[in-house]
Amino acid sequence: MGSRSIRNQLGRGGVSVCRDRVLGLMCKMGIHAIYRPNQVWATDITYIPMAEGFAYLVAIMDWATRKVLA
């Protein structure tokens, strides 16, 4: 779990805390979220104007390795 997930879980338990506080405590305790390659992806789609029409540009990235997959 990352700092956002922990903050939300604490909120459901009745403890009000901001994400920055959770992140600071995680750093002090040496806790970090584990992101597995090829399981957390991000996509972005945009278009590029050209002389005749436009072209689509699509990027798919793996968040764990921060590499462009396609």
Backbone angles phi, psi at 39, to 5 degrees: -125, -20
Of the two residues 9 and 38, the one the predictor is more confident about is 9
φ, ψ for residue 14, nearest 5 deg:
95, 5
Q: Domain coordinates of the chain in residue numbers? A: 1-33, 36-70
User: Residues 18-46: pLDDT tens digits?
Assistant: 999 999 999 999 988 877 777 788 898 99
Rounded mean pLDDT, 39-57: 89
Strand residues in 1-70 grouped as ranges (E): 41-49, 54-62, 67-68
